[in-house]
Amino acid sequence: MKFRALAAACAGMALALNLVLENILVSAKERMVLIPNFLDFAPTWNRGVSFSLFSQGETAGRYILIAVLAAIVVGVGIMAWRAGNNLTAMGYGLVVGGALGNLLDRSRYGAVFDYLFLHLGREPLFVFNFPDAAITMGVVLLIADNLMAGQSATAH
């Protein structure tokens, strides 16, 4: 039961922090260097999913994408509900919270508000937002948990 509460807390914190950040940042229009040659604030609207894949310009496509992403969130939420340790609960919780943040954007605005532009000098890498970072951190925790479980299994 404590793992469920931890997963829910991580999801709630990721979603709440996203809402606070977006309320502050969505009105900012000007690009700004955060870390020279590495990270800029560069607000943009992403109508697709990761790396702007499956970009949706039509209303029907947008609703289909929302439905598919909502189903994925439900599936990951079920895995969070079944988490058996702290790392798994935190990992799934962060994935759910980040996904809910992006899903909320897509539902409200028809696109996801991305604002962090990662690049190496002049070489662009990608633009992302806090929910994307939460999802990535959640996946890192799940991988770490899996690796540690594999190590303990081979130690026996």
Q: Which residue numbers are catalytic? A: 114, 132
- Pairing of β 32-35 and β 39-46: antiparallel
Reading the block at residue 84, the tokens are 């058996």
Calculated CA dihedral for residues 33, 37, 43, 49, nearest 10 degrees: -160
- Indicate the residue type of 67: A
Residue 84 exposure: Cα atoms within 13 Å on the Cβ side: 3
